[in-house]
Structure 1
Amino acid sequence: MTILIIEDDPKTGDYLRKGLKEHGYVVDIARDGVDGLYRALEQDYELVVLDVMLPGLDGWEVIRQLRAKRDVPIIFLSARDEVNDRIRGLRLGADDYLVKPFSFVELELRIRTILRRGSTREIEVFEVADLRLDVVRRKVTRDGVEIPLTNKEFMLLHLLLRRQGEVLTRTQIASEVWDMNFDSDTNVVDVAVKRLRAKVDAPFERKLIATVRSVGYSLSVDP
Structure 2
Amino acid sequence: MRLNILIADDDPSIRTLLRFLLSKEGYRVVEASDGEAAAELLVKEQIHLAIVDIMMPAKNGLVLCREIREDFDIPVIILSAKGESEDKEQGFLSGTDDYMVKPFDSKELIFRIKALLRRYRLVSQTTIKLGGITINRNSHEIRQGDISFELPLREFELLAQLASNPGRIYTREQLIQLVWGTDFTGDSRTVDVHVKRLRERFAACSDDFVITTIRGLGYKLEVKE
- Once residues 87 and 67 of structure 1 are traced to their aligned partners in structure 2, the CA distance between those partners, rounded to angstroms, is 16
Aligned to 2:115: 113
Aligned to 1:6: 8
Higher CA-based Rg:
1
Deviation of residue 66 (structure 1)? 2.0
The two structures have a TM-score, normalised by structure 1, of 0.52
Aligned to 1:98: 100
Please give the secondary structure, in 2, of the residue aligned with 1:57.
coil
Q: Counterpart amino acid of 1:100?
A: K
Please give the secondary structure, in 2, of the residue aligned with 1:113.
helix
Aligned to 1:70: 72
Aligned to 1:89: 91
Deviation of residue 99 (structure 1)? 0.3
Whether 1:38 and 2:40 are equivalent positions in the alignment is yes
- Once residues 78 and 59 of structure 1 are traced to their aligned partners in structure 2, the CA distance between those partners, rounded to angstroms, is 9
Task: Kindly provide the CA deviation profile for residues 53-75 of structure 1, in whole angstroms up to 9, marking residues without a partner as x.
Answer: 00100001111222221121100
The two structures have a TM-score, normalised by structure 2, of 0.52
Give yes or no for contact 2:65–2:95 (8 Å, CA) kept in 1.
Answer: yes
Give yes or no for contact 2:74–2:120 (8 Å, CA) kept in 1.
Answer: no
- Once residues 72 and 120 of structure 2 are traced to their aligned partners in structure 1, the CA distance between those partners, rounded to angstroms, is 14
- Once residues 58 and 42 of structure 1 are traced to their aligned partners in structure 2, the CA distance between those partners, rounded to angstroms, is 20
Q: Counterpart amino acid of 1:46?
A: H
Give yes or no for contact 1:63–1:93 (8 Å, CA) kept in 2.
Answer: yes
Richer in helix (by share): 2
Please give the secondary structure, in 1, of the residue aligned with 2:103.
coil
Gaps (5+ residues) in structure 1? Answer: 122-223
- Once residues 46 and 5 of structure 1 are traced to their aligned partners in structure 2, the CA distance between those partners, rounded to angstroms, is 11
Q: Counterpart amino acid of 1:4?
A: L
Aligned to 2:60: 58
Q: Counterpart amino acid of 2:75?
A: P
Aligned to 1:183: none
- Once residues 58 and 83 of structure 1 are traced to their aligned partners in structure 2, the CA distance between those partners, rounded to angstroms, is 18
Aligned to 1:212: none
Please give the secondary structure, in 1, of the residue aligned with 2:18.
helix
Structure 1 residue ranges (4+ consecutive) displaced by more than 3 angstroms after TM superposition: none
Superposition CA RMSD, Å: 1.5
- Once residues 97 and 69 of structure 2 are traced to their aligned partners in structure 1, the CA distance between those partners, rounded to angstroms, is 11
